[in-house]
A = this chain, B = another copy of it.
Amino acid sequence: MSTVKLGIIGLGQQGGAYANFIKEGRIRNIEIGAICDIDAAKQERAQSEYPEVPFYQNYIEMLDSGNVDAIVTCVPHYLHPEMGIEALKRDIHALLEKPAGVYTKQVREINEYAATKPALTYAIMFNQRTNPLYQKVKEIIDNGEIGAIRRTNWIITTWWRPQGYYDAGSWRATWDGEGGGVLVNQAPHQIDLLQWMCGMPEKVYTKAQYGYQRNIPVEDDVTTIVDYGNGATGVFVTCTHDVMGTDRLEILGDKGKIVVDDSKKITLKRLHKPEREMSNSMSMQDMMTLFRGKGPEAIYEEEILEFDSVWGGQHLAVLENFAANILDDTPLIAPGSDGINGVELANAMHLSSWLNQEINLPIDEELYVRELEKRRASEK
């Protein structure tokens, strides 16, 4: 195989964008094998824009057609795992849109099934992992440059959405259609980046507001405290009602600090001596001298790293990496099995907010599903 024939399931905003990228020849080694959408109206659009591409209303028929080597699931989140499993069953590679699913139980199913088919490529669209800025942050942490992490703090409120956005689709921002709000639709990017860079927390406490500033049943405002289990803690704040949104990530370590502003600028401080050593060797008098006399350069060096915004190219990079893994085993940027971490964190945040208590990870999956079902049922 020299080119991957991709089956695009769902010709909405995301699926349409991928189809266009491929048609325009912007993704190496991928062609459109087939398009699938349950909406008959999409068939006309597909046939006019991609006249040579087979169209299916039923994705199983597409999988069985022999026209696709791989699929991408641009459909509501609940469907990602089962579609992925059906593809893998037929030895078809699967790229899941994020989030991997709505609840961990369904994501665990596909992870377990995928593990039985190691020759197949199973990946997830965590496009922000291709952002050179976050790759750099991960590298700085992994290199031990700032030492062990003591605290993380991410305010990511740049996900503004007007009421009209929510009103445009009846499934949007509902328990039954999406399984949540900002935690399952917008913030999964940062939730994944956080655990990718800083590791999985062991405990989570969340205060979420449901329909606070928007007329929706799901959460539009979330504040979470994470506990990494070794004394390190963190804060994660997100919402969809701040039109002047903030994107500020701070990571404090034993030997330094990283501050990321607007996903564009890293301010990296490296202490000359680990903080613990400073604490153990200094008196109150030394401290006064330090803070009133000399500038900060006495204790740390500061480096500023600026990055261009990379919006748009990220999805291309993940699609290309997916094809490259299929064709020549290039390592995946985001293995499908990683998707469960973000889902687990989002589930823990919901559960904590619903029960108003701190939640240990891994969560009680059955309890989560029961609580979610209550909310889905209440909408009917």
Contacts and interface: CB of A to CB of B under 8 A. Distances in A.
Contact of A279 (B162, B246, B257): B162
A161 B287 CA distance: 8
Interface residues of A, number: 58
B162 A278 contact: yes
Interface string A147-158: 000110101010
Interface string A137-165: 00000000000001101010100111111
Contacts of A231: 209, 212-213, 221
A276 interface: yes
Given A231-B212, A284-B164, A241 B150 contact: yes
Nearest to A242: B252
A225 B244 contact: no
Oligomer copy total: 2
Contact of A278 (B239, B243, B357): B243
A162 B284 contact: yes
Given A162-B283, A163-B280, A209 B223 contact: no
A272 to B, nearest CB: 11
A205 B239 CA distance: 19
Contacts of A237: 151, 153, 235
Contacts of A165: 283-284, 287
B207 A227 contact: yes
A250 B221 CA distance: 16
A233 B213 contact: no
A244 B296 contact: yes
A257 B243 CA distance: 10
Interface in A285-308: 286-287, 291, 296, 299-300
Nearest to A207: B225
Nearest to A236: B235
A223 B358 CA distance: 14
B162 A287 contact: yes
A275 B356 contact: no
A245 to B, nearest CB: 9
A280 B215 CA distance: 10
A40 interface: no
B241 A250 contact: no
A116 to B, nearest CB: 40
A177 B167 CA distance: 58
A282 B241 contact: no
B164 A282 contact: yes
A162 B223 contact: no
A237 B237 CA distance: 13
A350 interface: no
A271 interface: yes
Contact of A150 (B164, B213, B214, B356): B213
Given A150-B242, A209-B231, A235-B237, 6 more contacts: A150-B241, A151-B221, A214-B279, A242-B252, A242-B275, A244-B299
Interface of A: 150-151, 153, 155, 157, 160-165, 168, 205, 207, 209, 212-214, 221, 223, 225, 227, 231, 233, 235, 237, 239, 241-244, 246, 248, 250, 252, 256-257, 259, 269, 271, 275-276, 278-284, 286-287, 291, 296, 299-300, 356-358
6 contacts: A151-B157, A207-B227, A209-B233, A225-B225, A235-B237, A242-B275
